[in-house]
Chains A and B, each alone.
Chain A
Amino acid sequence: MNISEVLKSIENTDIASSIRDSLFLFPMLESVHVMGLALVFGTIAIIDLRLLGLASTHRPFRSMTSDILKWTWMAFTITFLTGALMFTTNATVYFHNPVFQAKMAVLLLAGINMGIFELTSGRTRRQWDTSASTPVAAKTAAVISLVLWISVIFLGRWIGFTTTRTSPKEEAAPSELNLDDLFPGAADDSTTPNKK
């Protein structure tokens, strides 16, 4: 079975077709995906800002990670599952979409960055646990992490604008409308809103 057959069979699963056939399942998956990624990004930013010495500097680093990262992983699980379900609805298009590919690559880089931190400055965290200043390697990891996670948000939003077949319902409703319909007799220069 080659990759295009695998993608086709993902699209043909019952779960994929029931999401496609439902009016509100896809928008709901998107909404829960945004909730999840909002908390993933926000909680990771709390840790990164601590590493950079910009916030929570009075708080021991290790009590922050044990306090916060469990919520990050919970939110990440929700985001991953909702993302996977959205992927099934149009697997072939997503798989070949360069923005989707870039997003997956950036997520992988974020994971590698985390791994490198754990193996380097993370190992000495006992020494700087209560200190506001952290090793340069830890600060570097924090900057990279923030840049990568913000990129994930941008790329994710861009996927919706580059995979038109995915969610034909999205942005569909207002497309038949324009301002002239709302305010008949107003300006005659066309002010039809951009679809996207």
Chain B
Amino acid sequence: MIPTIQSIHIAGIGIVLTSVFMMDLRILGLAGKDQTLRQTTQRFGPWLMWSLVALLVTGVLMVIGEPVRELVTVSFWLKMFLVAVGTLVAAIFLRALRNNEQGWEDRITKRFSIKLMAILTFLVWLAVVVLGRLIAYDHIWGAWSPAHRL
């Protein structure tokens, strides 16, 4: 059962990571240039949101199934923090784009700060993947791991 839920969780991560990747590549001008920014977010925004919901559901099931393995780790809580950061940035971006579509299309995406944000948010989601895998190896944090103290 646990491996099945983990596998669904990984498939969900595939959709989250790819959706963020495609939107970020569009901002950076590295993919999807035949599409407007709005077309790109309309294509991938809902997939990002719904797969995050699926990850939350499978994630909660895994925590219920193995509360100690998940909760008594640095990796888990760091991961939750970065998931919150990534989700918040995505929500703010999608809202800002909705409110000023033309401005983003013409000017805002060309700003260096926005391109930097695109790279940073992708790195945040990559770090989420690493921390997710590290839950199984929390002892590599040494004394930082709460399990170390027990």
**Which residue numbers of A lie inside 8 Å of B, CB to CB?**
23-24, 27-28, 30-31, 34-35, 37-43, 45-46, 55-56, 58-60, 63, 67-68, 71, 150, 153-154, 156-158, 161, 169-174, 177-179, 181-182, 193-194, 196
Tell me the complex Cα distance, A169–B140, Å: 9
Task: Give min CB distance, B51 to chain A, whole Å.
Answer: 9
- Give chain A residues whose Cβ lies under 8 Å from the Cβ of B7: 153-154, 157-158
Whether B14 sits at the interface, judged by CB under 8 Å, is yes
- Chain B's nearest CB lies how many Å from the CB of A159? 10
With beta carbons under 8 angstroms apart, the residue of B4, B14, B25, B32 that contacts A41 is B14
B113 at interface (Cβ–Cβ under 8 A)?
A: no
Q: Is B95 engaged at the interface, CB distance under 8 Å to the other chain?
A: no
Q: In chain B, what residue has the closest Cβ to A41?
A: B14
- Shortest distance from the beta carbon of B142 to any chain A beta carbon, whole Å: 9
Contact B31 A68 (CB under 8 A): yes
Do A27 and B134 form a contact, CB below 8 Å, given A34-B129, A38-B10, A161-B3? yes
Give me 25 A-to-B residue pairs in the complex whose CB atoms sit less than 8 angstroms apart, sorted by A's number: A24-B137, A31-B130, A31-B133, A34-B133, A37-B14, A38-B14, A38-B16, A38-B18, A42-B14, A42-B15, A42-B19, A42-B21, A59-B34, A67-B33, A153-B7, A154-B3, A157-B3, A157-B7, A169-B137, A171-B136, A173-B137, A173-B145, A177-B68, A182-B150, A194-B65
- Check B147 for interface membership: any CB of A closer than 8 A: yes
Q: Is B43 an interface residue (CB 8 A)?
A: yes
Whether A154 pairs with B4 at a CB distance below 8 angstroms is yes
Interface of A is mostly: helix
Q: Is the CB of B15 within 8 A of A45?
A: yes
Contacts of A178 in B (CB 8 A): 68
CB-CB under 8 A from B17, the residues of chain A are 35, 38-39, 42
Q: What are the residues of chain B within 8 A of A153 when measuring CB–CB?
A: 7, 10-11, 14
Residues of chain B within 8 A (CB-CB) of A63 are 34
Contacts A67-B32, A177-B147, A193-B67 given; indicate if A31 touches B18 (C-beta within 8 A): no
- Number of chain B residues whose Cβ lies closer than 8 Å to a Cβ of chain A: 45
A161 partner residues in chain B, CB cutoff 8 A: 3
* B interface, CB within 8 angstroms of A: 2-4, 6-7, 10-11, 13-19, 21-22, 25, 31-35, 39, 43, 65-69, 72-73, 126, 129-130, 132-134, 136-140, 145, 147, 150
Bound complex: CA A16 to CA B143 (Å): 28
Question: Hey, which chain A residues are within 8 Å of B65, CB to CB?
Answer: 194
B43 engages A174 (CB within 8 Å): no
Which of these, B3, B67, B140, B145, contacts A27 with CB under 8 Å?
Answer: B140
Q: Are A39 and B67 in contact (CB under 8 A)?
A: no
Residues of B within 8 A of A67 (CB): 31-34
Nearest CB of A to B14, in Å: 4
Given A67-B32, A174-B68, A174-B147, CB of A46 within 8 Å of CB of B2? no
Cβ-defined contact, A42 with B18, below 8 A? yes
